[in-house]
Amino acid sequence: MELLIALLIGILFSAGTYMILSRRLLRIIFGTSLLSNGTLLFLMTSGKLQRGESPILGKLSTTYTDPLPQAMILTAIVISFATTAFCLVLAYRTYQEIGSDDVDELLGKEHDDDH
């Protein structure tokens, strides 16, 4: 199971990197979202998910689930969602003002459409 998740993490990282290298703002934002989802899967896998009881003091159980990776992932999900929403609003506002979401046009560079 961990091998399948590791393969999925690699696919998310490679697709996110490919999308970040694009010239369109929306693809860059979605690429960043894919990278953050790959990071969340990596944190979940590195936390070694185990079956066990909840870590409540007073119980005499030898196996328990570590709550730290779960807390880190929940925090990262909230931060990732807020960052993505903020970037989408900025991209929309930029498109309204400039009329394009091409990064080269935002920088004022001319590019050839022949390539």
Give 53-77 pLDDT, tens digit per residue: 666 766 666 677 777 878 888 999 9
Answer yes or no: is 115 within a domain: no
Q: What type of residue is 79?
A: I
Answer yes or no: is 84 within a domain: yes
Please state the rounded mean pLDDT for residues 30-53: 84
CATH number, position 8: 1.10.287.3510
Answer yes or no: is 109 within a domain: no
Answer yes or no: is 113 within a domain: no
Q: Which of 33, 47, 44, 36 is nearest to 5 (CA)?
A: 44
Element (H, E) at 40: helix 25-46
Answer yes or no: is 45 within a domain: yes
Answer yes or no: is 110 within a domain: no
103 to each of 58, 79, 91, 114, how far by Cα in Å? 57, 25, 11, 17
Answer yes or no: is 112 within a domain: no
Res 52: pLDDT: 66
Residue with tokens 């991209």: 91
Residue 66's contacts (CB-CB under 8 Å, 6 or more residues apart) are 47, 48, 50, 55
Residue 25 CA to residue 91 CA, distance in Å, equals 7
Domain count, the chain: 1
**What is this structure's pTM?**
0.78
Q: Which domain holds residue 37?
A: 2-52+63-103
